[in-house]
Amino acid sequence: MQRFKNILCVIEHGDASQPALERAVALAENNQAGLTVVDVIPRVTAGMGMPDGGPISRDLQAAMVSEHEARIVALVKPYLQRLDIQHKVLLGTSFLEVIRAVLRNGHDLVIKCPESPSWLGHFFSGDDMHLLRKCPCPVWLVKPGAPKTYQRILAAVDVNDGYTPKELNTRHRTNVQILEMAASLAILESAELHVVHAWESTIESISGFVFSSDISSERLAANIEQERRQHQQFLDELLRKISTESESARGALDYLKPRTHLLKGAARKEVPALAKRLGVDCIVMGTVARTGIRGFIMGNTAETILEQIDCSVLAIKPCGFVTPVTLAE
């Protein structure tokens, strides 16, 4: 399945961005897609101790642009015989200029290495978190030091039914996007595909219910098992729907034979734990909790998961997402 046609690769860390560039090149070749490579540097302003727009600041800005352009050229040179690569140095705040480039040029994927090369603690910080929250297209953050070929891809879906009909439809479409992109990536990488859904027992979550003397432990266990079967049914139904809605998806899933994981517990705990147990190389997941309004927020569950994982992530926005970032500065 060819998913991307106009890829934007951000290289702000020199040679440390090489893993992202290599994956962007491979993906562009596989998809016969356009590829643009950008670096983002701050504008030289009066706040830096010199007159704003004066000759000294203009000369310094031009020198910085020239230096970073030369670095981009050196990084992309080994790949120019394989495909045409556009490149540019952008001026301003990194996440804003990247998103504006997406809006201006219709990019359908942003790929970059995270800000923190150590991948310790909150490695998705600053501009990375802004991109994950606000970029209108998928964002693929490639872990430095990751293997050149992924072995295991994990698609994290949400098939809970406790939403309004409109929200259920949006979440279904997002789940479809997640699975299609995860399957596409798994085929490209010749990797295993795993699909996870974490669920919490409604019965157990009712305050004091499990301690009630009016219900036996056997009946409680039976009710929880009924909930588990319902969530399994929801997950199986999602996979069946995708197979009936898309012929290409059906072929991909038939070929990959994904392993499903139905985990009882909070997604914020169970998904990172599963990723660690499996040795997952990349998680494909949604990142936005609310839809239908301008200025979306990242869901607490998604943000907590991102703070715990130590693998690459491909983050998907829901259908209808509108970024709060505009082209006007």
- For residue range 220-274, list pLDDT tens digits in order: 888 889 999 999 999 999 999 888 877 777 888 889 999 999 999 988 899 999 9
Sign of CA dihedral 142, 143, 147, 148: positive
181 and 57 fall within a common domain:
no
Distance CA 306, CA 289 (A): 14
134 and 156 fall within a common domain:
no
Q: What is the DSSP string of 279-329?
A: T-SEEEEE-B---SSSS--B-HHHHHHHHH--SEEEEEPPTT---S--S--
3-state secondary structure of 78: helix
231 and 129 fall within a common domain:
no
Provide the residue range defining the domain that includes 113: 1-146
Q: What is the DSSP string of 156-202?
A: E------S-HHHHHHHHHHHHHHHHHHHHHHHHHT-EEEEEEEE--H
How far, in whole angstroms, is CA 248 from its chain's centroid? 22
In this predicted model, what pLDDT tens digit does every residue of 91-109 receive, in sequence order?
999 999 999 999 999 999 9
Residue 61 belongs to domain with CATH number: 3.40.50.620
Cα-based distances in Å from 76 to 15, 101, 188? 11, 19, 22
52 and 103 fall within a common domain:
yes
Domain termination site, one of 146, 172, 191: 146
Tokens of 139: 């964002």
Residue indicated by tokens 């001026």: 91
Domain termination site, one of 146, 175, 209: 146
Residue 262 belongs to domain with CATH number: 3.40.50.12370
261 and 189 fall within a common domain:
yes
pLDDT at site 220: 80
Instruction: Using a pLDDT cut of 70, give the percent of the chain over it.
Output: 85
208 and 80 fall within a common domain:
no
The letter for the amino acid at 258 is: P
316 and 175 fall within a common domain:
yes
125 and 45 fall within a common domain:
yes
Domain termination site, one of 118, 146, 174: 146
Tokens of 232: 């399994």
179 and 136 fall within a common domain:
no
Instruction: Using a pLDDT cut of 90, give the percent of the chain over it.
Output: 48
Distance CA 185, CA 3 (A): 9
136 and 153 fall within a common domain:
no
104 and 246 fall within a common domain:
no
Q: How many domains does the chain have?
A: 2
155 and 111 fall within a common domain:
no
The number of residues in the chain equals 329
